[in-house]
């Protein structure tokens, strides 16, 4: 497999973490292809900051996507269209600082590659040079762009099916490839992207049978989200995984924890302790050394005596 071995200590890692004292095999695009060949499922997850991406990496996730979904789950927008290149760069830098093993992929936001191929390549280069991304993801059957990015030595992840940046044209988030014609078109687009150099293709919001057929036909790995269990790998949005979205989950989401309840309860307990003066305790407070306290007491007594004489 095409792994790059990193020496221990090449990046900060906490004591007790899986990577604290051992070399790490870095996941690469060719390594993902080898995982497909071996039939080993690829685990993927979005992350947008240092803390969550560090946890995802230490948990053994293979691919971490700095998704433009941060527009919704981090910045509070209604869709992904508002997030900018500079905002995506900011978050990609934070993720890259935390990750030692996983492949870090940056989403190219809406408007960063739609006007021209040359603009798309220029923005992709920024993600590689300025933010440390190891691949970029683009939505839609943009064959010319993928070919140009590949020629520029930039690994590419394609994204077909339900493409959130097309939400206005699609009129909402709807399952795609429901007709025979649409299925054939999706297959053709997927093959074209792979032939143009895309190393991985995300399939979102398509019937299981369609995703399975495309996965079997493509030479590159597919990553599914709402595309059934037959893709070469799966991806979920971090906030969906741990219930931090404040909304009803999509059908394909499985929640593995309730961080929302955990965090809310912790904050409520903190507020109550502050209101009842139970926090901080004496043990959680700093104290003056006895000698300093005595000196201050003596100074106070002397000052009091002088005022009395006056």
Q: Within 13 Å, how many C-alpha atoms sit on residue 37's CB side? A: 9
Quote the percentage of the chain above a pLDDT of 70: 91
136-188 pLDDT, tens digit each: 999 999 999 999 999 999 999 999 999 999 999 999 999 999 999 999 999 99
Max mean pLDDT among 11-25, 85-99, 296-310 falls in 85-99
Catalytic residue among 204, 209, 272, 301: 204
Is 0.75 surpassed by the pTM of this model?
yes
Tokens 């050394």 correspond to 289
Task: Delimit the domains of the chain by residue range.
Answer: 4-241, 267-309
* Catalytic (active site) residue 301: no
79-136 pLDDT, tens digit each: 999 999 999 999 999 999 999 999 999 999 999 999 999 999 999 999 999 999 999 9
Pairing type for strands 42-46 and 233-236 reads parallel
Per-residue confidence (pLDDT) for residue 6, from 0 to 100: 44
Tokens 């002397």 correspond to 302
CATH superfamily for 4-241 is Phosphoenolpyruvate-binding domains (3.20.20.60)
């Amino acid at each position: 497999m095409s792994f790059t071995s990193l020496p221990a200590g090449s990046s900060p890692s906490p004591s007790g973490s899986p990577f604290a004292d051992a070399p790490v095999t870095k996941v690469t695009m060719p390594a993902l292809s080898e995982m497909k060949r071996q039939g080993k499922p690829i685990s993927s997850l979005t992350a947008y900051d240092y803390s969550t991406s560090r946890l995802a990496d230490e948990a053994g996730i293979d691919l971490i996507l700095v998704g433009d979904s941060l527009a919704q789950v981090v910045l509070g927008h209604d869709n992904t269209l508002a997030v900018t290149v500079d905002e995506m760069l900011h978050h990609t830098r934070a993720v890259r600082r935390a990750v030692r093993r996983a492949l870090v992929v940056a989403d190219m936001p809406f408007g960063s590659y739609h006007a021209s191929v040359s603009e798309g390549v220029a923005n992709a280069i920024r993600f590689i040079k300025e933010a440390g991304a190891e691949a970029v993801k683009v939505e839609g059957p943009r064959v010319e762009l993928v070919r140009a990015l590949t020629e520029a030595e930039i690994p590419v992840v394609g994204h077909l099916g339900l493409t959130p940046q097309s939400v206005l044209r699609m009129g909402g988030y709807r399952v795609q490839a429901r007709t025979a014609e649409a299925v054939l078109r999706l297959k053709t687009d997927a093959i074209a992207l792979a032939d143009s150099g895309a190393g991985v293709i995300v399939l979102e919001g398509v019937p299981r049978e369609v995703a399975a057929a495309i996965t079997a036909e493509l030479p590159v790995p597919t990553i599914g989200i709402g595309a059934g269990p037959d893709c070469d790998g799966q991806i979920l949005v971090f906030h969906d995984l741990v219930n931090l979205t404040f909304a009803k989950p999509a059908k394909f989401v499985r929640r593995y924890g309730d961080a929302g309840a955990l965090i809310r309860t912790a904050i409520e307990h903190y507020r109550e302790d502050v209101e009842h003066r139970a926090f901080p305790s004496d043990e959680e407070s700093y104290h003056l050394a006895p000698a300093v306290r005595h000196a201050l007491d003596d100074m106070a007594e002397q000052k009091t005596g002088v005022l009395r004489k006056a």
